Amino acid sequence: MPGKSRRDFLKTTAVIGAGVAGLSSSTAKAAPKNILSEDRMGVLVDTTVCVGCRNCEWACKTAHDLPAGELHSYEDRSVFTEKRRPGTKALTVVNEYSSGKNSNLPLDVKVQCMHCDHPACVSACIVGAFSKEENGSVIWDTDKCIGCRYCMAACPFQVPAFEYDKAINPSIMKCDFCFNRTKEGKLPACVAICPVEALTYGTRTELVKIARERIKRNPDKYVDHIFGEYEVGGTAWMYLSSKDFSELDFPKLGTNPAPGVSESIQHGIFAYFVPPVSLYALLGGIMWISKHRKELDEEGKL
Protein backbone atom coordinates (compact mmCIF):
# COMPACT_ATOMS: atom_id res chain seq x y z
CA MET A 1 0.00 0.00 0.00
CA PRO A 2 1.31 3.38 -0.85
CA GLY A 3 2.39 5.72 1.87
CA LYS A 4 2.73 3.05 4.46
CA SER A 5 6.05 2.18 5.95
CA ARG A 6 7.48 -0.94 7.39
CA ARG A 7 7.31 0.71 10.77
CA ASP A 8 3.53 0.37 10.65
CA PHE A 9 3.83 -3.34 10.39
CA LEU A 10 6.26 -3.53 13.26
CA LYS A 11 4.07 -1.31 15.36
CA THR A 12 1.04 -3.47 14.78
CA THR A 13 3.03 -6.55 15.64
CA ALA A 14 4.22 -4.93 18.83
CA VAL A 15 0.68 -4.07 19.84
CA ILE A 16 -0.42 -7.65 19.32
CA GLY A 17 2.62 -8.89 21.18
CA ALA A 18 1.81 -6.66 24.12
CA GLY A 19 -1.78 -7.84 24.13
CA VAL A 20 -0.67 -11.42 24.13
CA ALA A 21 1.79 -10.79 26.94
CA GLY A 22 -1.05 -9.22 28.90
CA LEU A 23 -3.06 -12.37 28.43
CA SER A 24 -0.28 -14.55 29.70
CA SER A 25 0.14 -12.67 32.95
CA SER A 26 -3.55 -12.82 33.75
CA THR A 27 -3.49 -16.54 32.98
CA ALA A 28 -1.17 -17.01 35.91
CA LYS A 29 -3.55 -15.14 38.17
CA ALA A 30 -6.66 -17.00 37.15
CA ALA A 31 -5.14 -20.46 37.13
CA PRO A 32 -6.86 -22.92 39.48
CA LYS A 33 -5.54 -23.46 42.93
CA ASN A 34 -3.11 -26.31 43.02
CA ILE A 35 -1.59 -26.07 46.43
CA LEU A 36 0.62 -28.79 47.77
CA SER A 37 0.73 -28.02 51.45
CA GLU A 38 3.32 -29.74 53.59
CA ASP A 39 0.70 -31.02 55.99
CA ARG A 40 -2.03 -31.88 53.57
CA MET A 41 -4.35 -34.58 54.79
CA GLY A 42 -4.87 -38.05 53.43
CA VAL A 43 -6.43 -41.39 54.20
CA LEU A 44 -4.72 -44.72 54.57
CA VAL A 45 -7.04 -47.54 53.49
CA ASP A 46 -6.04 -50.89 54.91
CA THR A 47 -7.84 -53.44 52.76
CA THR A 48 -6.84 -56.20 55.16
CA VAL A 49 -8.79 -54.48 57.92
CA CYS A 50 -11.86 -53.52 55.90
CA VAL A 51 -14.74 -55.91 56.51
CA GLY A 52 -16.92 -54.78 53.62
CA CYS A 53 -19.79 -53.51 55.77
CA ARG A 54 -20.40 -50.70 53.26
CA ASN A 55 -21.33 -48.26 56.02
CA CYS A 56 -19.04 -45.77 54.27
CA GLU A 57 -21.26 -45.92 51.19
CA TRP A 58 -24.25 -44.98 53.30
CA ALA A 59 -22.42 -42.25 55.21
CA CYS A 60 -21.08 -40.76 51.99
CA LYS A 61 -24.47 -40.56 50.37
CA THR A 62 -26.00 -39.09 53.51
CA ALA A 63 -23.26 -36.47 53.76
CA HIS A 64 -23.71 -35.49 50.11
CA ASP A 65 -27.53 -35.40 50.10
CA LEU A 66 -27.81 -38.36 47.78
CA PRO A 67 -30.63 -40.87 48.25
CA ALA A 68 -29.13 -43.30 50.74
CA GLY A 69 -31.85 -45.59 52.06
CA GLU A 70 -31.67 -47.42 55.37
CA LEU A 71 -28.27 -48.25 56.82
CA HIS A 72 -29.17 -51.89 57.41
CA SER A 73 -29.97 -52.35 53.72
CA TYR A 74 -26.23 -52.05 53.12
CA GLU A 75 -25.68 -55.37 54.88
CA ASP A 76 -26.67 -57.03 51.60
CA ARG A 77 -23.52 -58.63 50.32
CA SER A 78 -24.93 -59.80 47.03
CA VAL A 79 -23.75 -56.52 45.50
CA PHE A 80 -20.24 -57.93 45.65
CA THR A 81 -20.97 -60.39 42.86
CA GLU A 82 -20.07 -57.70 40.40
CA LYS A 83 -17.42 -55.03 40.53
CA ARG A 84 -18.93 -51.59 40.92
CA ARG A 85 -17.53 -48.15 40.22
CA PRO A 86 -18.19 -44.81 41.88
CA GLY A 87 -20.78 -42.90 39.90
CA THR A 88 -23.33 -40.14 40.11
CA LYS A 89 -25.44 -42.04 42.62
CA ALA A 90 -22.61 -43.23 44.87
CA LEU A 91 -19.34 -41.38 45.20
CA THR A 92 -17.69 -44.33 46.87
CA VAL A 93 -18.26 -48.06 46.58
CA VAL A 94 -16.70 -51.13 48.14
CA ASN A 95 -15.72 -54.10 46.01
CA GLU A 96 -14.83 -57.52 47.32
CA TYR A 97 -12.03 -59.77 46.12
CA SER A 98 -10.93 -63.23 47.10
CA SER A 99 -7.82 -62.97 49.20
CA GLY A 100 -6.40 -66.12 47.68
CA LYS A 101 -4.61 -68.99 49.29
CA ASN A 102 -4.04 -68.31 52.90
CA SER A 103 -7.25 -66.96 54.24
CA ASN A 104 -10.95 -67.53 54.16
CA LEU A 105 -11.52 -63.83 54.58
CA PRO A 106 -12.13 -61.80 51.44
CA LEU A 107 -10.37 -58.53 50.75
CA ASP A 108 -12.59 -55.49 50.51
CA VAL A 109 -11.51 -52.44 48.61
CA LYS A 110 -13.17 -49.07 48.96
CA VAL A 111 -13.01 -47.05 45.77
CA GLN A 112 -13.31 -43.28 45.48
CA CYS A 113 -11.35 -40.30 44.16
CA MET A 114 -7.69 -40.72 45.07
CA HIS A 115 -7.15 -36.97 45.50
CA CYS A 116 -3.88 -36.90 43.57
CA ASP A 117 -1.11 -34.54 44.58
CA HIS A 118 -0.80 -33.58 40.92
CA PRO A 119 -4.33 -34.13 39.70
CA ALA A 120 -4.98 -34.65 36.02
CA CYS A 121 -8.44 -33.12 36.39
CA VAL A 122 -7.07 -29.88 37.82
CA SER A 123 -4.60 -29.63 34.97
CA ALA A 124 -7.11 -30.62 32.31
CA CYS A 125 -10.21 -28.64 33.26
CA ILE A 126 -10.82 -26.00 30.61
CA VAL A 127 -12.19 -23.46 33.07
CA GLY A 128 -10.20 -24.47 36.15
CA ALA A 129 -13.26 -25.80 37.93
CA PHE A 130 -11.10 -28.29 39.81
CA SER A 131 -8.63 -27.32 42.48
CA LYS A 132 -6.27 -29.07 44.85
CA GLU A 133 -6.96 -27.49 48.20
CA GLU A 134 -4.56 -26.89 51.03
CA ASN A 135 -5.97 -29.79 53.05
CA GLY A 136 -5.37 -32.20 50.21
CA SER A 137 -8.89 -32.34 48.79
CA VAL A 138 -9.41 -32.13 45.06
CA ILE A 139 -12.72 -30.37 44.66
CA TRP A 140 -14.99 -29.26 41.85
CA ASP A 141 -16.66 -25.89 41.43
CA THR A 142 -20.17 -26.08 40.05
CA ASP A 143 -20.18 -22.36 39.19
CA LYS A 144 -17.38 -22.78 36.67
CA CYS A 145 -17.96 -26.19 35.07
CA ILE A 146 -19.21 -26.22 31.50
CA GLY A 147 -19.71 -29.99 31.39
CA CYS A 148 -17.06 -30.77 28.78
CA ARG A 149 -16.05 -33.98 30.60
CA TYR A 150 -12.35 -33.57 29.80
CA CYS A 151 -11.67 -34.34 33.47
CA MET A 152 -13.20 -37.76 32.94
CA ALA A 153 -11.00 -38.42 29.92
CA ALA A 154 -7.94 -37.22 31.84
CA CYS A 155 -8.42 -38.99 35.19
CA PRO A 156 -6.05 -41.99 35.43
CA PHE A 157 -8.37 -43.65 37.95
CA GLN A 158 -11.55 -43.15 35.94
CA VAL A 159 -13.27 -41.45 38.84
CA PRO A 160 -15.31 -38.37 37.82
CA ALA A 161 -18.86 -39.21 36.79
CA PHE A 162 -21.31 -37.05 34.88
CA GLU A 163 -25.08 -36.73 35.15
CA TYR A 164 -25.95 -37.71 31.60
CA ASP A 165 -29.63 -37.83 32.41
CA LYS A 166 -29.90 -34.18 33.35
CA ALA A 167 -30.77 -31.60 30.69
CA ILE A 168 -30.04 -28.61 32.92
CA ASN A 169 -27.02 -28.23 35.18
CA PRO A 170 -25.66 -31.73 34.96
CA SER A 171 -22.85 -32.07 37.49
CA ILE A 172 -19.52 -33.80 37.64
CA MET A 173 -19.80 -36.09 40.62
CA LYS A 174 -16.85 -37.37 42.59
CA CYS A 175 -15.64 -37.73 46.15
CA ASP A 176 -14.74 -34.28 47.49
CA PHE A 177 -12.98 -35.64 50.58
CA CYS A 178 -15.93 -34.18 52.50
CA PHE A 179 -14.53 -30.71 51.98
CA ASN A 180 -17.49 -29.10 53.73
CA ARG A 181 -17.18 -31.38 56.74
CA THR A 182 -13.42 -31.09 57.11
CA LYS A 183 -13.74 -27.30 56.88
CA GLU A 184 -15.80 -27.45 60.06
CA GLY A 185 -13.22 -29.67 61.74
CA LYS A 186 -15.23 -32.85 61.24
CA LEU A 187 -13.85 -36.07 59.82
CA PRO A 188 -14.81 -37.22 56.35
CA ALA A 189 -18.10 -39.09 56.64
CA CYS A 190 -16.66 -42.45 55.59
CA VAL A 191 -13.75 -42.17 58.02
CA ALA A 192 -16.10 -41.22 60.85
CA ILE A 193 -18.45 -44.15 60.36
CA CYS A 194 -15.95 -46.92 59.57
CA PRO A 195 -16.49 -49.43 62.40
CA VAL A 196 -13.03 -50.94 62.11
CA GLU A 197 -11.16 -47.79 61.14
CA ALA A 198 -9.89 -49.35 57.96
CA LEU A 199 -9.67 -45.72 56.90
CA THR A 200 -7.11 -43.77 58.89
CA TYR A 201 -7.32 -40.01 58.46
CA GLY A 202 -4.19 -37.96 59.05
CA THR A 203 -1.49 -35.91 57.43
CA ARG A 204 -0.12 -37.67 54.37
CA THR A 205 3.42 -37.65 55.77
CA GLU A 206 2.34 -39.37 58.95
CA LEU A 207 0.18 -41.89 57.08
CA VAL A 208 3.12 -42.96 54.93
CA LYS A 209 5.13 -43.50 58.12
CA ILE A 210 2.33 -45.53 59.69
CA ALA A 211 1.91 -47.60 56.54
CA ARG A 212 5.64 -48.36 56.44
CA GLU A 213 5.55 -49.36 60.09
CA ARG A 214 2.62 -51.71 59.49
CA ILE A 215 4.41 -53.38 56.59
CA LYS A 216 7.59 -53.67 58.66
CA ARG A 217 5.78 -55.24 61.59
CA ASN A 218 3.75 -57.65 59.47
CA PRO A 219 5.87 -58.50 56.45
CA ASP A 220 3.92 -61.73 55.95
CA LYS A 221 0.59 -59.98 55.95
CA TYR A 222 1.20 -57.07 53.60
CA VAL A 223 2.73 -56.76 50.17
CA ASP A 224 5.57 -54.28 50.38
CA HIS A 225 3.80 -51.56 48.41
CA ILE A 226 1.81 -48.53 49.50
CA PHE A 227 -0.43 -47.84 46.55
CA GLY A 228 -0.62 -44.11 46.10
CA GLU A 229 2.66 -43.27 47.76
CA TYR A 230 4.35 -42.73 44.41
CA GLU A 231 1.69 -43.55 41.82
CA VAL A 232 1.09 -40.61 39.48
CA GLY A 233 3.26 -38.47 41.72
CA GLY A 234 1.48 -39.46 44.93
CA THR A 235 -2.13 -39.45 46.03
CA ALA A 236 -3.83 -38.35 49.24
CA TRP A 237 -5.62 -41.68 49.53
CA MET A 238 -3.25 -44.59 49.91
CA TYR A 239 -3.84 -48.32 50.15
CA LEU A 240 -2.31 -51.29 51.91
CA SER A 241 -3.05 -54.80 50.78
CA SER A 242 -2.15 -58.43 51.32
CA LYS A 243 -2.29 -59.04 47.60
CA ASP A 244 -0.69 -57.52 44.56
CA PHE A 245 -2.64 -54.39 43.70
CA SER A 246 -3.11 -55.40 40.10
CA GLU A 247 -5.24 -58.30 41.34
CA LEU A 248 -7.48 -55.81 43.12
CA ASP A 249 -8.15 -53.91 39.87
CA PHE A 250 -5.83 -51.05 40.70
CA PRO A 251 -4.47 -49.55 37.48
CA LYS A 252 -0.78 -50.00 36.85
CA LEU A 253 0.57 -46.48 36.84
CA GLY A 254 3.99 -44.91 36.73
CA THR A 255 5.37 -42.47 39.23
CA ASN A 256 5.17 -39.45 36.96
CA PRO A 257 2.28 -37.08 37.64
CA ALA A 258 -0.57 -37.79 35.22
CA PRO A 259 -0.57 -34.28 33.73
CA GLY A 260 3.22 -34.13 33.48
CA VAL A 261 3.80 -34.75 29.77
CA SER A 262 0.74 -32.81 28.71
CA GLU A 263 1.69 -29.82 30.83
CA SER A 264 5.27 -29.74 29.65
CA ILE A 265 4.05 -29.76 26.04
CA GLN A 266 1.60 -26.98 26.84
CA HIS A 267 4.21 -24.93 28.63
CA GLY A 268 6.67 -25.65 25.81
CA ILE A 269 4.30 -24.32 23.20
CA PHE A 270 3.33 -21.36 25.34
CA ALA A 271 6.60 -20.54 27.09
CA TYR A 272 5.77 -16.91 27.86
CA PHE A 273 4.10 -16.80 24.46
CA VAL A 274 7.53 -16.70 22.85
CA PRO A 275 6.92 -19.52 20.34
CA PRO A 276 3.58 -18.17 19.03
CA VAL A 277 4.92 -14.61 18.82
CA SER A 278 8.09 -15.82 17.08
CA LEU A 279 5.99 -17.79 14.64
CA TYR A 280 3.91 -14.70 14.05
CA ALA A 281 7.01 -12.63 13.37
CA LEU A 282 8.47 -15.34 11.14
CA LEU A 283 5.34 -15.58 9.03
CA GLY A 284 5.21 -11.78 8.82
CA GLY A 285 8.79 -11.83 7.61
CA ILE A 286 8.08 -14.47 4.99
CA MET A 287 5.03 -12.56 3.83
CA TRP A 288 7.02 -9.37 3.49
CA ILE A 289 9.95 -10.99 1.71
CA SER A 290 7.83 -12.96 -0.76
CA LYS A 291 5.77 -9.90 -1.58
CA HIS A 292 8.89 -7.81 -1.96
CA ARG A 293 10.60 -10.33 -4.21
CA LYS A 294 7.51 -10.63 -6.38
CA GLU A 295 7.41 -6.90 -6.85
CA LEU A 296 11.11 -6.76 -7.69
CA ASP A 297 10.53 -9.46 -10.28
CA GLU A 298 7.68 -7.53 -11.74
CA GLU A 299 9.69 -4.32 -11.82
CA GLY A 300 12.52 -6.15 -13.52
CA LYS A 301 10.18 -7.39 -16.18
CA LEU A 302 8.58 -4.05 -16.72
Partner 1 sequence: MKKIIVIIFLLTISLPLSAQKNPGKDHAKSNVNCKTCHVCDVPTKDDPCLVQCPREKMKTVYESPDKTVDVVSLDELSKKYLPVTFSHRVHAQMSVLSGGCGTCHHYNTSGPIQPCKNCHQTSRKRDDISKPDLEAAYHRQCITCHREWSHGTSCNSCHNLKTTNKEYQKEEVKKKVKGKVHPALIEPAKIVFETKYEKGKMVTFFHDDHTKKFKIDCTSCHKNETCLKCHDVNKTSNEKSKIIRAQKSLDEHHKKCFSCHKEDKCESCHLGKPSEHFDHKKRTGWVLNKFHDELSCAKCHGSKIPYSKLDTKCVNCHKGWNIENFKHTITGLQLDETHAQLNCEDCHEEKNFAVKPVCSNCHENFIYPRQKPGKMVRTK
Partner 2 sequence: MNHEEINPVPIKHKYFTPGVFILLIIALNGLIFLMGRFFFGLGSVTNLNDQYPWGLWIGVDVAAGVALAAGGFTTAALGHVMHKEEYNAIIRPALLTAMLGYTFVAMGVFVDIGRWYFIWHPLIMWNGSSALFEVGICVMIYMSVLYIEFLPIVTERFIGKVKLPGFLSGLNNFVDKLLRLLDNGLSKTMFIFIIAGVVLSTLHQSSLGTLMVIAGPKMHPLWQTPILPLLFLLSAISVGFPMVIFESLLASRSLGLKPEMHVLSKLGSMIAPILGIYLAFKLGDMFIRESFVYLKEFNTVSVLFSIEILFGVIIPLRMFLSHKVLKSPLFLFIASALVVFGVLLNRINNFVVAYNPPYSTQSYFPSFGEISVTIGFAAILILVYRFIVLNFPVISLPGLRTAQPTKYTIKGAKK
What is the H or E stretch that residue 58 is in?
helix 55-63
- The rounded Cα 29 to chain-centroid distance in angstroms is 20
* Backbone φ and ψ of 238, nearest 5°: -130, 155
Q: Residue 210's binding partner, choosing from partner 1, partner 2, none, with beta-carbon cut-off 5 to 8 A by kind?
A: partner 1
Per-position x/- string for 33-72, each x denoting binding to partner 1 as judged by CB under 8 A, each - no binding: ----------------x-xxx-----------------xx
Using the minimum distance from each CB to partner 2, give the nearer residue, 105 or 281: 281
User: What is the rounded distance in angstroms from the CA atom of residue 285 to the CA atom of residue 279?
Assistant: 10
* Residue 197 engages partner 1 in binding (rule: CB under 8 A): yes
11 binds partner 1 per the rule CB under 8 A: no
What letters, b where the CB count within 10 A reaches 16 and e where it falls short, cover 104-129? eebbbbbbbbbbbbbbbbbbbbeebb
* Helical residues (DSSP H) of 92-195, grouped into ranges: 120-124, 150-154, 179-183, 189-193
Bridge partner residues of 240 (DSSP): 46
Per CB under 8 A, 80 contacts partner 1: no
20 interface partner picked from partner 1, partner 2, none, CB below 5 to 8 A per type: none
Q: What residue 201 binds from partner 2, partner 1, none (CB within 5 to 8 A, per partner kind)?
A: partner 1
How do beta strands 237-240 and 41-46 pair?
Answer: parallel
Q: How far is the CB of 217 from partner 1 (least distance, A)?
A: 6
Residue 246 contact, options partner 1, partner 2, none, Cβ 5-8 Å cut-off depending on partner type = none
Least distance from partner 2 to the Cβ atom of residue 180, Å: 22
Binding residues for partner 1 restricted to 224-283, rule: CB under 8 A? none
